[in-house]
Amino acid sequence: MAEETIITPDLNFVRSLKGAGAETLKKCYQCATCSVVCPISPDDKPFPRKEMVMAQWGMKQELAADPDVWLCHNCNDCSKYCPRGARPGDVLSVMRQKAIEENAVPGFMGKIVRNPFLALLIPIILFLAVLGSTGHLKAPGEGAIEYSNFMPVTYIEIIFMSAVGLAGITYLVSLMKFWKTMGSNGAATSKGFVPSLIATLVELISHKRFAKCEANGDRRIGHLLVLYAFIGLAITTIWITYYYYVPHIETHIPLSDPMKWLGNGSAAALIIGSLILVANRMKDKGIDTISSSFDWTFLIMIVLLAISGIATEAVRLAGIKSIAYPVYFVHLVFVFYTIVYFPYSKLAHMGYRALAITYAKMADRDVQL
Ligand code: SF4
Ligand code: SF4
């Protein structure tokens, strides 16, 4: 006799999914068209049909342990063909948002990120406190524009090194929590972690999965530009730190310096990439689909981060002292926002998706791209 499985639906979870943008999930009548059309769903236990039924039944734990939620890259080919307008692509996107919230360490940070005004207020108060305590609330009046005369380098270092350290640790803890939850789904793994992770990283660098997308293909270019921009900006930051501490170059590195090329090129890539993603979300794709505030907030913050960074350099070069220090202040706020809230934001999906693809490869569940 077959074993009995008792399912206890978590109705609060169903309500929270619907409240976060998955209000169409109850429309699904399990026809499985979505699983058939999905270009990256494996033949064995394909997604997203099974995730739709798990969501309808409020199977929170099962969804939390399901790597398939993260194999989806939100191309929305499935939403295009769903006969019921259940928008399975968007429902999976909300599931990923919930997973980031559930794994957030500490949990309250996940809630702060949902409130962009509060999230921005924290660095504003912090930087105003630093300026007040160092007597720089009034911008320097004499001489050339020198940002370190406004916000001392030592304070910048203390704040941002602490921010990077804290964000790095909390992100790592969240990812470990996620990995442990995925491991609880009982799937047999036949391949090693390291070779699977290397194969995953190679795949992510080229964004091969996006190339399979029919309904939403131009997101690939935007995604790639944003990814490479962040890598470029991280290298630029290390490079500046090297200049500051080794050859002791403290100010006004010329535009001809390769470090400047990399920094400015990365900022330009960030602006172009994020604007492509904004335009992609706004354009009419002929699909019944929506973007949540979770999707929008970080995208807008990235655009503002890049624009304020370019503006900080431009007003200094142009010698426009009246706005140079306020622009620099705004840029610092967006840099802080991006670093500190990274583990709780849309960008956090990078690590979650990388681990889920790695897990799928280990379990021989990934499709050939
Ligand atoms: S989400 Fe749509 S396509 Fe997928 S099983 Fe449900 S009704 Fe069918
Ligand atoms: S959004 Fe795209 S990748 Fe995700 S389940 Fe639908 S078809 Fe597959």
**Ligand nearest to the Cα of 96, by number:** 2
Tell me how far CA of residue 274 lies from CA of 92, 185, 218, 281, 305, in angstroms. Answer: 22, 35, 12, 11, 11
Closest ligand to C-alpha of residue 38 is 2
Q: Contact, 62 vs 30, CB < 8 A? A: no
Ligand 2 neighbours (beta carbon < 6 A): 38, 40-41, 47-48, 72-78, 88-89, 92
Q: Which residues contact 283 (CB under 8 A, 6 or more apart)?
A: none
Residues 6+ apart with CB under 8 A from 159: 126, 130, 336
- What's the CA gap between 291 and 338, in Å, rounded? 20
Rounded CA-CA distance 163/292 in Å is 27
Write out pLDDT tens, residues 325-346. Answer: 999 999 999 999 999 999 998 8
Structure confidence by residue, pLDDT tens digits, 179-230: 999 988 777 788 899 999 999 999 888 887 777 776 666 678 888 999 999 9
pLDDT greater than 70 at residue 302: yes
Backbone angles phi, psi at 122, to 5 degrees: -60, -55
Cβ 210 vs Cβ 75: under 8 Å: yes
Q: Exposure string (b/e) for 132-160, b if CB count within 10 Å is 16 or more? A: eeeebeebbeeeebebeebbeeebbeebb
Percentage above 70 pLDDT, the chain: 93
pLDDT of 150 reads 85
Residues within a 6 A CB radius of ligand 1:
28-34, 49, 52, 82, 84, 86, 88
- How far, in Å, CA of 93 to CA of 41, rounded? 16
All domains in the chain, ordered by first residue: 11-102 (1.10.1060.10), 107-362 (1.20.950)
Total Cβ atoms within 10 A of residue 49: 21
The continuous run of DSSP H or E covering 284 comes out as none
26, 37, 79, 82: which to mutate for ligand 1, most atoms within 8 A of CB?
82
- Please give the model's pTM, rounded to 2 decimal places: 0.86
pLDDT of 2 reads: 58
